[in-house]
Amino acid sequence: MSVTWRGAEPLPPRPLGAADRVRIGLRGGVILSLLLVGFPLLLLLRLPERVLSGHHRPVTPWITQIVCRLTCAVLGLRLMREGRIDRSPGAFVSNHVSWLDIFVLNACTRLYFVAKSEVRGWPGIGWLARGVGTLFIARDRARAAEQAAALRDRLAAGHRLLFFPEGTSTDGCRVLPFRTTLFAAFFAGGLPDVSIQPVSLVYTPPPGAPGAFYGWWGDMDFGANLLRMLAAPRHGTARVIFHAPLRVAEMADRKTLAQRAEEAVRTGFEKAR
């Protein structure tokens, strides 16, 4: 069953003028060029990387991070990173606002997203997600053991994973309750001693823009939202706040872990807004 959030009315479309179309062409052209250079290079290096390092990826995550940083710079979106990033085995959890989160979070640190299996087939985004090593999870309880094994293999390879426990994106003006399903995988046998680091993602819109400017939710069209981002005369700030990590071994169960992570993300979000 879909958990898509539809708790607010979508922003009305803004007519595009000549200056908007110029910005779309310039920014879109540069970003497309970055992807057309960075993505094939990443795929080209994956083969020798796989031969020499197996599942470890010592080089290609840097390419992803550089491309994402440059993409944010081309848009004019200012990045602010706060807090210490935990480098021990484990995962990040964050609130979810938009497809832009992929670029913002990758720009801040090297990580691999955990996404619902449907994302694999999305035009454009699915293609990029597969290339950068996203771990796809099916919403199927019967496959829980298989998914826990996949998670264990990625953690054992030193991958820092990130997933969105809200299960959906929002308008960026709130944090939804965390779903506990994916947290259960961290209590499966055979996992190393891991931690979960909560991350608060807070977007500040450009001057005069509505608070939901960066949100992408409900049935909003990706293409229209992309054009809005490319056409904006000015952009605001994406603030990424890394909180103290939570050791899984110290938590009673997945519900306790999810609650503690949600509290950290929500508190950081509310203080930053």
The CATH number of the domain holding residue 88 is 3.40.1130
For residue 60, pLDDT beyond 90: no
Does any domain span residue 152? yes
Q: Identify the helix (H) or strand (E) that includes residue 223.
A: helix 222-231
Across 14-18, 30-34, 57-61, least confident range: 57-61
pLDDT, tens digit, for every residue of 100-128?
999 999 999 999 998 877 777 777 777 77
Mean of per-residue pLDDT scores for the chain: 89
Number of domains in the chain: 1
In one letter, which amino acid is 225?
A: N
Burial class of 77 by CB neighbour count within 10 A (0 to 12, 13 to 18, 19+): buried
As a whole number, mean pLDDT of residues 14-24 equals: 95
The predicted structure's pLDDT at residue 1: 41
Residue 271: which H helix or E strand, with range?
helix 254-272
**Tokens 């179309």 identify what position?**
21
Is 69 within the bounds of a domain?
yes
Q: Tell me, yes or no, whether 7 lies in a domain.
A: no
Kindly report the pTM of this predicted structure.
Answer: 0.91
Residue 138: the pLDDT is 74
Of residues 26 and 8, more confidently modeled: 26
Q: Residues 35, 128: contact at Cβ < 8 Å?
A: yes
Helix (H, G, I), strand (E, B) or coil at 129: helix
| Whole-number Cα distances in Å, 88 to 84, 138, 158, 172, 245 | 12, 26, 9, 29, 10
Mean of pLDDT values over 1-23: 87
pLDDT tens-place string over residues 34-49: 999 998 998 899 888 8
Domain that residue 155 falls in: 18-272
Residue 8 falls within a domain, yes or no? no
What pLDDT sits at residue 259?
97
71 close to 103: Cβ distance less than 8 angstroms: yes
Q: What is the pLDDT of residues 129-174, one digit of tens each?
A: 777 788 888 766 666 677 777 777 888 777 889 999 998 999 999 9
Q: Which two tokens stand for residue 55?
A: 């599942």
Q: Which of the four pLDDT bands, split at 50, 70 and 90, describes residue 220?
A: very high
What's the pLDDT score for residue 115? 81
**What pLDDT score was predicted for residue 52?**
76
pLDDT at 144: 66
